[in-house]
Structure 1
Amino acid sequence: MNSDLAVVVDGVEKSFGTVKALRGISFDVGRGQILGVLGPNGAGKTTMVNILSTLIDADRGRASVAGHDVRTEAPSVRRKIMLTGQYAALDDMLTGAENLVMFGRLMGMTKREARSRATHLIKEFDLVDATNRRVGTYSGGMRRRIDIACGLVVMPEVVFLDEPTTGLDPRSRQSVWDLVSSFKEFGITTLLTTQYLEEADALSDRIIVIDHGTVIAEGTADELKERTGGSYCEVVPLELTDMPTIVAELGSMLPDEYRTALLRDADRVVVPAPEGAKTLTEILRRLDCANIDLRDIALRRPSLDDVFLSLTGQVAQ
């Protein structure tokens, strides 16, 4: 087995009755990497995480985490991982510090070790002011931070984050993003399932897209965006009456099938930009020579939203 790989999934299948949740999924994650897992509701993301974290068994295929088979060496896998779901699994009647100490004791620490680790994590996760407050009084962002902190009482090799920022406000979401980014500093491998495309874009070293239980695309965010058509220039004229002139001036820079549609009802021109800034410069030169005034012009790249829509036929939730 490749020692540089923290997670290996090979041909994993899982059905629930007549519903096929996973259909032969395969991928791997290198040590210290963050893998983003994108997919619409019901795509199979959570089922995959549950198999990798030993909560359920696969019907077929094999998977290993931190060098251990998830089916035959489940106890060893559990000692190496942290799992945080969409809802924080905390005792609301205990304080943040008490929750951390409890998790430490459950992991075999002495009282002194558990208290010391709890104090460190409370500071690390910026929860000092809430140390002695019951978790039931915490905001959503604070609950998510203490939940993740509990999973780090004993430093894991692999972290599974199943839509960890669902329902959080933007500030709390950014706080969780910062925490996930910090995992790399400790060499922790992270598998992040999410429906927030900007989350996958900002955090992931690599991304896989799952739909109907199958991996339909994988690569870096840039590689996936390139599959959708690469860079393009968006040109917005000050006067819509200039549209025919713009189309005529740009000439061969526009695809033939697009030129007719533009003249009907468009309010902007989108031009493929295979040479990036050079294409933008050439557009500006041609339109300046034609004395066309612009409201806006920009060089853009496809977003992960564009990728998601083109691959799954669905708009991200």
Structure 2
Amino acid sequence: MWDYTDKVKDYFFNPKNAGALAEANAVGEVGAISCGDALKLMLKVVPETEIIEDARFQTFGCGSAIASSSALTELVIGKTLTEALEMTNQDIADFLGGLPPEKMHCSVMGYEALQAAIANYRGEEWHDDHEEGALLCKCFGVDEGMVERAVRMNKLTTIEQVTAFTKAGGGCLTCFDGLEACLAKVNAEMVAEGLLAEHEAYRLGGTSQAVVKQKAREMRGFVKAPEEPKPAPAAAPMISLDQIALVPPPSSAAPSASGGLTMLKKIRLVEETIEEMRPYLRQDGGDCELIDVDGNTVKVKLSGACVGCQMSSVTISGIQERLAVKIGLPFRVVPV
């Protein structure tokens, strides 16, 4: 698990420059609460010098989003607009001592908000929505322009990286083909411009949806990354995760809904599994609590950032998979 730096923790628990700025004359808003992350950046710019005298933020999102927004304000205060425009999302991540790969989109959101605020000050239009190209990911409202900027600025060459930096593809994955085509196109342009080595560029068909889904699950802590293969006992053939809910009981045994477990043992295993996952959810400001176990139906209560989150279905799916792997039985997890 990623060990967050002390600076990230400090800027989350003790955010600098949080709140509204009444004297703001430059405002940038990106994201949407319905997509899980939103940021409003407010700047006070001195007209004569174009120096950013003050900066405040209001954000909705995880701890990394709050820390990144706070860091952004610290970075831009005292800079001219021209100097601020030269900043990248990597500058925000570096200022914090680094962010986990799956949280780099928080620094990208800060970069986009800064660009939007400066455009607002200059009376220009800044499109953070699908007006700037095709809407690629409906789950998180990510358009083609945002993906292209993230790929170019950070030299991204895999779908997993694109998801980490933009959140696109982190939900239902129906946008996979569009993301893949966009990444391949931009990488080809970067090779032609001498910005990327040809052997590094992504090509269509370079990965599969199954691989992306597995990586996404690993990044959210729902399943462990594959370990070195170990020989399995002869009596225990290997079963893939996708097959586990479909495997019938051995023909010599009568079907059993409990797998030989007492209800008390089953409840304890379910409790242990959910407790193992709660730290990952709490990192994002959410939580999950076991309410009841009725046969193979597990009722849970989602709270915090998990309530109404676009990724709540992924959270539920992850709990089901973890239960199936740990207990060896298919479960249906229902939020109540």
TM-score normalised to structure 1 length: 0.29
Instruction: Answer 1 or 2: which has greater strand percent.
Output: 1
TM-score under structure 2 normalisation? 0.28
Pick 1 or 2: higher relative contact order, CA cutoff 8 A, min separation 6: 1
Of structures 1 and 2, the larger Rg is shown by: 1
